[in-house]
A = this chain, B = another copy of it.
C-alpha cells in the first residue's frame, strides 16, 4: 500500500502556459500530480507558503525566496525579444512619465519590477506607482501608464496602438536595453520537499521536460485547440507561441542573473548568491 501523495504542482492558467498544460495532458502526467491551476501571483504565494511542492514562480518572487527554493533546469517562461504578453501600455512617451501615475496590474511581479527598472534606469523617470486590478481600462482610468501581463496584455498588444495608447513590449525593451533574453518565471521545488522527496521531484521535472518537448512538436494542435476558445485568431496565437520560449539555456540564465543584479542594486530583492541560482540536481 502506498504512503506517497501526489506532488502538489502549480500551473499558470494563462494562455502562455497552455502548451505546458497540453504537454502535461498528452504525456499522461496529469494522472500523477495534484494540479492547482491559478494566476501566477496565487501560485507564487502558495509555493512560498508550502501549499505547493513544485510550481512556476515569478522571477522576482523566486529572488525573494531563493533560500527556500531549488530551480528546475531547462524550464522557464522566457523570451529573447518580444514576449507579447508583458506590456507597458502608456498614454505619453516613456521618457515623459516623471510625476505621472503608473498603475501596476496585481497579477504581475516580474513585469512590474522590469517596468520600474526600465523607467528609472533607462529613461531616468520617477513616476508615482499605484497597484490595481489587472483590467486595462480600470488601470488607465486614473493613470498615464499601466503594466499588464497575460491574456489582458496580449489583447492590448493584439489591438495595437490606438486611442493615443502605445504598447511597449517589456521583453523587447529588456533585450534592447541589455542584449539578453528575459526570464519572467522559473519552475521551482521547495527545498525541504526536494530534500525529502528527490525521486518525486525528479519525476515531476522529467515530466515537465517531456511536456514542453511534446508541446513543441504538437504546437499546431495546441493552436487548433486554443483558437476554438480564446479571443485571438490563429495567426496571433501561433506568433505568441513562437515568441514564448520555455527553455532555460545558459544565455537565459545570464539574462536571469542580469535582472537579479539590477533588481538587487535597486534594493527590490536580496542579492542572488554568487553562482546562483541553485538548481535541483537531478542526478
A residues with CB within 8 A of B: 1-6, 18, 21-22, 25-26, 28, 30-32, 222, 225, 227-233
Contact = CB atoms under 8 A, between A and B. Distances in A.
Contacts of A2: 227-232
A6 B28 CA distance: 21
Q: Which of A1, A22, A32, A225 has the most CB of B within 10 A?
A: A1
Given A21-B31, A28-B225, A31-B225, 8 more contacts: A1-B231, A1-B232, A2-B227, A2-B228, A2-B232, A4-B229, A30-B30, A31-B222
A32 B222 CA distance: 11
A13 to B, nearest CB: 10
Contacts of A25: 25, 28, 30-31
Contacts of A4: 228-229
A268 to B, nearest CB: 36
Contacts of A18: 31
29 contacts: A1-B231, A1-B232, A1-B233, A2-B227, A2-B228, A2-B229, A2-B230, A2-B231, A2-B232, A3-B231, A4-B228, A4-B229, A5-B229, A6-B229, A18-B31, A21-B30, A21-B31, A22-B31, A25-B25, A25-B28, A25-B30, A25-B31, A26-B28, A28-B225, A30-B30, A31-B222, A32-B225, A32-B228, A32-B229
A205 to B, nearest CB: 17
Nearest to A224: B31
Nearest to A21: B31
Contacts of A231: 1-3
A117 B30 CA distance: 39
A231 to B, nearest CB: 5
A26 to B, nearest CB: 7
Contacts of A6: 229
Nearest to A31: B225
A30 B231 CA distance: 19
Identify the interface centre among A2, A3, A26, A233: most chain B CB within 10 Å of its CB: A2
Nearest to A18: B31
A31 to B, nearest CB: 5
A5 B228 CA distance: 9
Nearest to A222: B31
A124 B228 CA distance: 56
A71 to B, nearest CB: 26
A30 B18 CA distance: 11
A134 B28 CA distance: 31
